[in-house]
Structure 1
Amino acid sequence: MSNPITEQPSKYDNLEKMDVLELLSNINAEDQTVPLAIEKALPQIRDFVTAVVPKMELGGRLFYIGAGTSGRLGVLDASECPPTFGVSDDHIIGLIAGGDVALRKAVENAEDDVNQAWKDLEEFKISEKDVLLGIAASGSTPYVVGGIEDAKKNGVLTGGITCNKNSLLSREADFPMELIVGPEFVTGSTRMKAGTAQKLVLNMISTSIMIQLGKVKGNKMVDMQLSNKKLVERGTKMIMDELNIDADLARLLLKKYKSVRKTIDLYKDRLNTNELN
């Protein structure tokens, strides 16, 4: 790929001569194009989610691999699923080239090793029951493309998120998702629009999967972990609204059962039992 879209020159020039409001306005204008680019990829995203859910219903896991910003976004999305949906931290697993130290600091040449991703995945005993999603704005990152190639050789279902058309990643992945957001405001700075697009799509993927797996009731996070006061209060409000009871009783029940879903289900069961008797 001689001139990938993510490396093409910005539509803007002489950025250093712009005042602050002009910079912010132009960045904002570019950011507004991201959801429209994602909209065009919705059928691709749907096909991937539809393929992942049956795997996870049978106990499979979803892995993310990426380097730099792409890797950080994958790790972020994976880390937010346990507190949000009450799943274990091995449901969705994010791996970044260079290991966890790369979350804070760039690790030299980490993304250039075509074999390292599979070595990292083997530590988690990845198998054909699982799914691997490669994330790379360029679509050519060796760590990601190599991981996808090795996964396919071992019977693992694969997906790819990229911001270039017909990239190596798109050609290798079973389910390519191409988010064509165009050149960046700062030429080649894919932490900007490309990163925003990747973040939005990862939100869509993990949230849709969790809803399909029954981790949301109505529109509420009934399986969320009650890890702080704010979440306890949110859980209390959910119970009040669902069961039509006052705050004191809702809080007492939540303290007893330690789960919004369990509280609602057991309280309703008790009501039904009393009605039958």
Structure 2
Amino acid sequence: MIDVDLPTEGRNPRTLDLDTLPTLDVLRMINSEDVTVPLVVAAVLPQVAELVDLAVESLRRGGRVHYFGAGTSGRLAVIDAAELPPTFGVWGRVVAHHAGGPGALQQAVSDVEDDADLGARDAADVACGDIAIGIAASGRTPYVLGALRASAARGARTALISCNPHTPHGGDVDVHIGLATGPEVISGSTRMKAGTATKLVLNSFSTTLMVRLGRTYSNLMVSVNALNSKLRTRLVRILTEATGMDAATCEAALNEAGGNTRVALVSLLGEVPAARATTALEEADGGVREALQRLRTA
């Protein structure tokens, strides 16, 4: 029976004979459940969009995005935040707080998720105008709720990503993204469908946030800087794809820009020196298209 108050803990009627099946059939059963996850995520995209727009406004005003989670939810948050700097060149603007700290990433610390006061303490550096996003499959993890309450008290906007659409705490936040993933293949094992759905939401949220902030040009990663020879080769290729110019021209522009890909791109497309491209980007809050538009209308 599915617990309507905690659907991820319910028993899945489709997997009752899981332990009697041969290996391939077990895998097929898991896969058939996983197939439902993207449709669940599709149903909450309006709420994800609302959260992205709040985060865009916050970051443009100098704010930050904070993730709070415990267990699998916290680990997924750490992964998402850690991957943004090398992909989009954004450092310290999206930060993850995991219950129990770094030690709990590799080895579970079970009691910390029940500590609402710990969540409040971990939210100490949340500022007015920031965005605090709690991640909890159950929608009621005390650590997460404590962090969200403390963040709201400091004037931050708050959101909850859960796999419990009917959690009573959904009304306590500005945006509730309630994923109806239902019972897991293994009852209560929320690292499975719930974890996958959460990862998809975080991927979609943070990537769209970076796109809206102008950290891409078309579908190219133009916010990565040339920190080593491997990256330099990749970035020259990105510049050739974005501009249609030859590799030698693009490499020269990248050198003039001090390895800054966006400066090189604006310099090439705007036909201006690197110094002018830098100024245009600063005036456009880092957005390549807006910087180019400013150059055209100057």
TM-score, normalised to structure 1, is 0.91
Is the Cα–Cα contact under 8 Å of residues 133 and 161 in structure 1 kept in the other structure? yes
User: Which residue in 2 is equivalent to 1:144?
Assistant: 144
SS in 2 for 1:115: helix
User: Which residue in 1 is equivalent to 2:289?
Assistant: none
Q: CA offsets, 1:34-79, max 9 Å, x none?
A: 0111111111111111222111110000000000000000111011
Superposition misfits of 4+ residues, deviation over 6 angstroms: none
SS in 1 for 2:85: helix
User: Which residue in 2 is equivalent to 1:38?
Assistant: 41
Residue 228 of structure 1, CA deviation: 5.2
Q: CA offsets, 1:158-213, max 9 Å, x none?
A: 00000012214413211100011111011110000000000000011111111111
Q: Compute the RMSD of aligned alpha carbons.
A: 1.9
User: Which residue in 1 is equivalent to 2:112?
Assistant: 110
User: Which residue in 1 is equivalent to 2:280?
Assistant: none
Is the Cα–Cα contact under 8 Å of residues 165 and 177 in structure 2 kept in the other structure? no
- Residue 236 to residue 34, structure 1, CA distance change in 2 (3 Å): same
Spell out the pairing of 1:1-277 with structure 2 (5 A cutoff): 3-10=5-12, 11-88=14-91, 90-122=92-124, 125-227=125-227, 229-257=229-257, 258-270=259-271
- Residue 233 to residue 194, structure 1, CA distance change in 2 (3 Å): same
User: CA–CA distance in 1 between the matches of 2:231 and 2:113?
Assistant: 38
- Residue 225 to residue 23, structure 1, CA distance change in 2 (3 Å): farther
Aligned residues: 270
Is the Cα–Cα contact under 8 Å of residues 84 and 225 in structure 1 kept in the other structure? no
Runs (5+) with no aligned partner, structure 1: none
Q: CA offsets, 1:221-270, max 9 Å, x none?
A: 10024455553332111111233333344334434531221112223444
Matching residue's letter, 1:94:
A
Higher relative contact order (CA 8 A, sep 6+): 1
User: CA–CA distance in 2 between the matches of 1:229 and 1:191?
Assistant: 38
Residue 3 of structure 1, CA deviation: 4.3
Is the Cα–Cα contact under 8 Å of residues 114 and 142 in structure 2 kept in the other structure? yes
Residue 23 of structure 1, CA deviation: 1.2
Q: CA offsets, 1:143-163, max 9 Å, x none?
A: 001111222222210000000
Matching residue's letter, 1:116:
L
User: CA–CA distance in 2 between the matches of 1:139 and 1:47?
Assistant: 19
- Residue 45 to residue 268, structure 1, CA distance change in 2 (3 Å): closer
- Residue 52 to residue 271, structure 1, CA distance change in 2 (3 Å): closer
Is the Cα–Cα contact under 8 Å of residues 69 and 195 in structure 1 kept in the other structure? yes
Is the Cα–Cα contact under 8 Å of residues 85 and 225 in structure 1 kept in the other structure? no
Runs (5+) with no aligned partner, structure 2: 277-298
Residue 14 of structure 1, CA deviation: 2.8
Aligned residues: percent identity?
A: 39
Range 46-55 or range 218-227, more displaced: 218-227
Matching residue's letter, 1:72:
R
Is the Cα–Cα contact under 8 Å of residues 66 and 96 in structure 1 kept in the other structure? yes
User: CA–CA distance in 2 between the matches of 1:105 and 1:255?
Assistant: 44
Matching residue's letter, 1:40:
A
Range 219-228 or range 78-87, more displaced: 219-228
User: CA–CA distance in 2 between the matches of 1:270 and 1:53?
Assistant: 29
